Amino acid sequence: MKLSIIVAITDDFAIGKDNDLLLKIPGDLQHFKKVTQGHTVVMGDRTLISLPGSKPLPNRRNIVMTLDKDFKAEGCEIAYSIDEMKELVKDEDEVFIIGGGTIYKLFYPIVDKLYLTIAHTSVEADTYFPTINFEEWEETSREDITAGEKAEFAYSFVNYVRK
Ligand SMILES: NC(=O)c1ccc[n+]([C@@H]2O[C@H](COP(=O)([O-])OP(=O)(O)OC[C@H]3O[C@@H](n4cnc5c(N)ncnc54)[C@H](OP(=O)(O)O)[C@@H]3O)[C@@H](O)[C@H]2O)c1
């Protein structure tokens, strides 16, 4: 079972503000859907709440991480620790960690692959991804979109595997 992170970050690793995403990045939702469709996604309970209608993502197995034993979410499985989550997905091929900040920090040291959408800009944020040391990662694919093509900032879809 391969563990992957998918995340949209700015150049300074910002990912969220007021329990919402920071930026509208053209094509990022479609990219996220294409990559995760048919797979299992793992998220913190705050990220679940931030989704439209606080509902699980369709066409994916949704696992929510919480420390609250009373927490329930329709259409979601619950995991109280990394080990419990791994046990739930042990027969899967690739599992996607989809946020937020707390859950990315928890899994970053142990994931095999990163699917990054990097917005080459800086915005005010209250939630950050861990600082990535790119020397530890090998780039496997990259698509750069220049500013003005579709957005006022440049952005890139970049995938990495751990060296
Ligand atoms: N840019 C992106 O790609 C992206 C993607 C997703 C989310 N986001 C953003 O990230 C922000 C939300 O991040 P967040 O850090 O506030 O919340 P979060 O990571 O979604 O959820 C945090 C919750 O995880 C649970 N948790 C923490 N440690 C745990 C552990 N060891 N085992 C099991 N559960 C554990 C806790 O739940 P309990 O308190 O219930 O115990 C905690 O409240 C929002 O702004 C959102 O928009 C950005």
Condensed to tens digits (0 to 9), the pLDDT of residues 70-110 reads: 999 999 999 999 999 999 999 999 999 999 999 999 999 99
**d(Cα 95, Cα 106) in Å, to the nearest integer?**
15
Give the number of domains in the chain.
1
Domain membership of residue 54 as a residue range: 2-162
Ligand 1 residue neighbourhood (C-beta within 6 Å): 7-8, 15-16, 19-21, 43-47, 50, 65-68, 71, 80-81, 98-103, 106, 127
Q: For residue 149, how far is its CA from the centre of ligand 1 (angstroms)?
A: 32
% of the chain beyond a pLDDT of 90 = 99
pTM: 0.98
pLDDT at 91: 97
Per residue in 21-32, pLDDT (tens digit) is: 999 999 999 999
What the block records as the tokens of 36 is 């995760």
Q: How confident is the model at residue 149 (pLDDT cuts 50, 70, 90)?
A: confident
CA atoms of 145 and 158, how far apart (whole Å): 11
Task: Give the domain CATH number at 92.
Answer: 3.40.430.10
Residue among 21, 19, 17, 18 nearest 7 (CA): 21
CA distance 41 to 43: 7
Do 9 and 125 form a contact (C-beta atoms < 8 A)? no
Q: pLDDT tens digit string along 117-147?
A: 999 999 999 999 999 999 999 999 999 999 9
> Rounded to an integer, what distance in angstroms lies between the CA atom of residue 42 and that of residue 76?
10
Eight-state DSSP code of residue 111: -
